[in-house]
Amino acid sequence: MCGIVAVFQTDPVINWEAACRAADAITHRGPDEKGEWRDRHAMLFHRRLSIIDLAMGRQPMVSQDGRHAMVFNGEIYNFTELRDELKRSGVTFTTQSDTEVLLEGFRRWGVGVVQRLNGMFAFVIWDRFESRVFGARDRLGIKPFTWGMHKGALVIASTVEPFTALDEFRSIDLVAVRDVLTFDYIPAPRTILRDVHKLPPGCWLQWRLGDASPQIEHYWRPPLADQAATTPCEAEIEELLQRAVKRQLVSDVPVGVFLSGGIDSSLIVALMARESSRPVKSFSVAFDEEEFDESPLAQLVASEFGTDHTVLRGDSLSAEGLLDLVGRLDEPFADPAVIPTYALAHLTAGHVKVALSGDGGDEVFGGYSKYLVRQEPRPIPGHFILDAALRATPWRPRGMGNMYQRTLSSRDQLRWSRVRYGDFPVFRKDLRQVLSVRYHDQAQISSYFEPWNRVAVRYGDNVTMDSLMRTDLETYLSENCLVKTDRASMLASLEVRVPYLDELLLDRFLPLPAEKKIVDGTLKALLKPLAKRLLPRQVWDRPKHGFNAPVSRLLARQWRPAMESVLEWGRGNVTLFNYDYLNRLHAINRAEGGIDRELWNPFVTLAWMMRHSLRVS
């Protein structure tokens, strides 16, 4: 696991010293080793967290003939098979690393190498003879990849952090701010910076020196439902999961596991225990609030499989620690689960350098109740009259939300349920209320749901269980869950692997229609028989719990100083927000509680801007 930065330019738009500062911004992604390389038109930087071939897998890596230079972040799980295939074709290797296999695979197969890779990756290859750049990101975006251009120079980095160290890119994208408030995250291809873009998952990028912009293409997208796909039996499911876990355990350093006490992580523990001659090292977080705390179940699973289990208290972060953590994220990210995830990663990193996680199990196997499409009651008549009346008022009366929601069509009900803020004229759902009037047009408020729609349209015009699940793969999973895990773990310099997103499983289970994964209302119907056989009843026979933090209570008490310092700084430095509204939310939460994400999302955005001294005026 690593961090990468690359600069390609004809003229010296970005000098060596500035590029080095940018690379140093992601040292936490790879604290073990620092690698740098340059020629006339390229500068490559690598920050390494050593996992495989500790002695020889250094980067940037240059091909033996000197033509290609590469930086790579991730792990290729099938690299031994690819190396054997390349050896049979005459390739000689000088290291045992997956990096060299990837480089030599590109030299032999060209862009087709990405179709052969099983793993999580983001990489950039510079062809010195043809002055060409090729980069790619894994199928579902487990590893990050960002890029930007300035005066003909192409800059590529793992995350946004290096760009915040370059003056040329420090401009806020107001539509991205809208997205954070709406979805908790900024969907690709946007980032918080106006001239910096994410490479979408499952895409490659090609660029030649002098081109105005890179050429970007999808090499993979989630497949559409295949009605002819056969439902796998329990034995096949178990075999595929076992194979995925086994090959993701390959490492030259110790490997542990995040154990929440849910089905997904508990199954991983069960399968890891089969592969290990020593007790598996498992880690979990405990909370005081019962509705958030799964630590007793995690302990039950740990005892069942004899793991070496460690538990951390999850709500001990101070106000100062909160501001530090939020500010260290590469861009504003408002899923509060990033806080216990970071705490868990920090704890785990004190014992191992690699951990397996259950991320992806819900999206691949159908684990969320939101996928159960129900027939909504007929809306109450008069929506347009009520909507117009509310929009005509300069204030938003409390208590109108439930009534207004009942007038919405089924399509607007979907929008309502998927966002924190939107173009709804009611208190706590109104983007126009939280943003200053002068920025409404620039933030494109009326198009707040466009990022979700852009993905969903590929899966049909109707809202179905299948379309919701497939859209989630490209939105909630790729843009939220995997971002949360990557950023939190990398701040702790810990590599996290996700067996449920192994290509072995994706190729077999994604073509299945949703009704073969959620049967008669039973979530994870394919995994339940395996869970019933391998896990304690308390794990699989209960409602699903989320991995979260009690935001409302913490903002009113323990984190109140952080909230108030951010609001004070924002009022004096950032005219983007309506501070009378935000202070009203804060006062209600202090007095009554119950205000969480409506207050949390603006707070996170402002706290991040405060840390990076970025302003909007």
CA dihedral 442, 443, 445, 449 (to 10 degrees): 130
Q: Look at residue 542 in the predicted model and tell me its pLDDT.
A: 80
**Is the pLDDT confidence value at 57 over 80?**
no
- Please write the tens of the pLDDT for every residue from 212-245: 999 999 999 999 999 999 999 999 999 999 999 9
Q: Look at residue 312 in the predicted model and tell me its pLDDT.
A: 81
> Whole-angstrom Cα distance, residue 490 to residue 157?
14
> Whole-angstrom Cα distance, residue 588 to residue 582?
10
CA dihedral 91, 94, 98, 99 (to 10 degrees): -100
Q: Look at residue 53 in the predicted model and tell me its pLDDT.
A: 55
Residue 225 resides in a domain? no
97 and 202 share one domain: yes
Q: Look at residue 286 in the predicted model and tell me its pLDDT.
A: 81
Residue 491 resides in a domain? yes
The pTM for the full model equals 0.95
Average pLDDT for 418-442: 96
Average pLDDT for 255-278: 94
Question: Taking a C-beta distance cutoff of 8 angstroms, is the pair 42, 62 a contact?
Answer: no
**Is the pLDDT confidence value at 178 over 60?**
yes
Q: How far does CA 293 lie from the centroid of its chain? A: 23
447 and 519 share one domain: no
Residue 520 resides in a domain? yes
DSSP sequence for 496-514:
EE-GGGSHHHHHHHTTS-G
Q: Where are the beta strands (DSSP E) in 338-423?
A: 354-356
Q: How far does CA 243 lie from the centroid of its chain? A: 24
Mean of the per-residue pLDDT values of the chain: 93
Provide the percentage of residues in the chain whose pLDDT is more than 70: 96
489 and 453 share one domain: no
Domain termination site, one of 162, 183, 218? 218
CA atoms in the 13 A half-sphere facing the CB of 499: 30
Q: pLDDT grade, residue 399 (50/70/90)?
A: confident
SS3 309: strand
- Please write the tens of the pLDDT for every residue from 313-350: 766 789 999 999 999 999 999 999 999 899 899 989 99
**Choice among 232-236, 429-433, 465-469, 549-553 with the minimum mean pLDDT:** 549-553
Residue 471 resides in a domain? no
Domain termination site, one of 463, 495, 520? 463
- Of residues 535, 493, 191, 174, the one with CA closest to residue 352: 493
Q: Look at residue 547 in the predicted model and tell me its pLDDT.
A: 62
Q: Look at residue 56 in the predicted model and tell me its pLDDT.
A: 64
Q: What CATH number corresponds to the domain at position 165?
A: 3.60.20.10
149 and 258 share one domain: no
Question: Taking a C-beta distance cutoff of 8 angstroms, is the pair 566, 609 a contact?
Answer: no
Q: Look at residue 292 in the predicted model and tell me its pLDDT.
A: 62
- Phi and psi angles of residue 61, each rounded to the nearest 5 degrees, phi first: -110, 135
Q: Look at residue 52 in the predicted model and tell me its pLDDT.
A: 56
**Is the pLDDT confidence value at 303 over 80?**
yes
User: CB within 8 A of 125, min separation 6: which ones?
Assistant: 68, 69, 70, 103, 106, 133, 134, 135
- Which domain range does residue 592 map to? 550-617
User: CB within 8 A of 70, min separation 6: which ones?
Assistant: 44, 59, 60, 61, 62, 99, 102, 103, 106, 123, 124, 125, 126
**Is the pLDDT confidence value at 287 over 90?**
no
Q: Look at residue 217 in the predicted model and tell me its pLDDT.
A: 98
Residue 468 resides in a domain? no
DSSP state letter for 480:
I
**Choice among 194-203, 288-297, 483-492, 549-558 with the minimum mean pLDDT:** 288-297
- Please write the tens of the pLDDT for every residue from 25-42: 999 898 888 899 999 999
Q: How far does CA 37 lie from the centroid of its chain? A: 29
Q: Look at residue 316 in the predicted model and tell me its pLDDT.
A: 72
Domain termination site, one of 500, 517, 540? 540
Average pLDDT for 293-303: 87
278 and 149 share one domain: no
Instruction: Please state whether beta strands 215-218 and 33-38 pair in parallel, antiparallel, or not at all (unpaired).
Output: unpaired
288 and 364 share one domain: yes
- Phi and psi angles of residue 234, each rounded to the nearest 5 degrees, phi first: -60, -40
331 and 345 share one domain: yes
Q: pLDDT grade, residue 1 (50/70/90)?
A: low
Cis-peptide, bond into residue 550, ω within 30° of zero: no
378 and 504 share one domain: no
- Please write the tens of the pLDDT for every residue from 83-116: 999 999 999 999 989 999 999 999 999 999 999 9
433 and 525 share one domain: no
Average pLDDT for 254-260: 92
**Which amino acid belongs to residue 348?**
T
Q: Look at residue 290 in the predicted model and tell me its pLDDT.
A: 64
Residue 358 resides in a domain? yes
282 and 319 share one domain: yes
Residue 336 resides in a domain? yes
Q: Look at residue 104 in the predicted model and tell me its pLDDT.
A: 96
* Number of domains composing the chain: 4
116 and 192 share one domain: yes
Q: Look at residue 543 in the predicted model and tell me its pLDDT.
A: 75
* CA-to-CA separations, 437 to 186, 433, 578, in angstroms, rounded: 22, 8, 8
Residue 432 resides in a domain? yes
243 and 173 share one domain: no
